[in-house]
Amino acid sequence: MRDYFVYTTTTDPRASVMLAELTQEYDARYGDLFSPGGAAEEMRRYPPATFAPPHGNFLLLLRQGQAIAGGAFKRLDEHTAEFKRIWTHSQFRRQGLAGLVLQELEAQCQRQGYRQIYLTTGCRQPEAVGLYLRHGYQAQFDPAGDLEALRTLPFTKAVPWLASAPSHAGYLTELAGIAV
């Protein structure tokens, strides 16, 4: 059995563990720094349609049918997708899965016609900052500055434009070389 990506929705039952763990992690790291309602408020901020084609998408990386990583994007403007909810299950970290999710989301953005990616991470996620920098994202802030004062850390990355970009809402891909 190999790991594989599936494009689905935030209401997919396989996503529930991912979204619950992500909410818990945000609360543990940030509490009410960003809003009085904590992470649950942030997770409810966007309706499921926000991360659905033709302008967005929601991705899960599955292993034996269980979500072990994932992420999403939504339309920021005509040429820019905004990545959200990049996550790896706590039991599967330090295996390069978040990098695979980023690469697949970037490829899907291309297929959906985007030319630029925008994303933010929080000031208390140094591993996310490192991930984005390693994958060619440009910090739109001074990484040596007071990150806690900034709170939200934005990044951008250009993606090559595909002249004939098909959109695959139900796109499923198997990852070669990633065995369980």
Q: What is the pLDDT of residues 124-160, one digit of tens each?
A: 889 999 999 999 999 999 999 999 899 899 999 999 8
Length of the chain: 180
Helix H or strand E segment including 13: none
**What is the band of 174 on the pLDDT scale with cuts at 50, 70, 90?**
very low
Q: What is the mean pLDDT of residues 63-87?
A: 95
Q: Which of 61, 119, 48 is nearest to 87 (CA)?
A: 61
Average pLDDT, the chain: 86
The pLDDT, as a whole number, for residue 21 is 86
* pLDDT(32) > 80: no
Specify burial of residue 144 (Cβ count, 10 A radius: 0-12, 13-18, 19+). Answer: exposed
* pLDDT(170) > 70: no
* pLDDT(2) > 50: yes
Q: Helices (DSSP H) in 8-151: which residue ranges?
A: 16-30, 38-43, 97-111, 126-134, 147-150
Q: Which of 69, 96, 74 is nearest to 84 (CA)?
A: 74
* pLDDT(90) > 60: yes
Q: How far is CA 59 from CA 28, 54, 69, in A?
A: 24, 14, 8
**What is the band of 26 on the pLDDT scale with cuts at 50, 70, 90?**
confident
> Tell me: domain 4-158, CATH 1.10.10.920, correct?
no
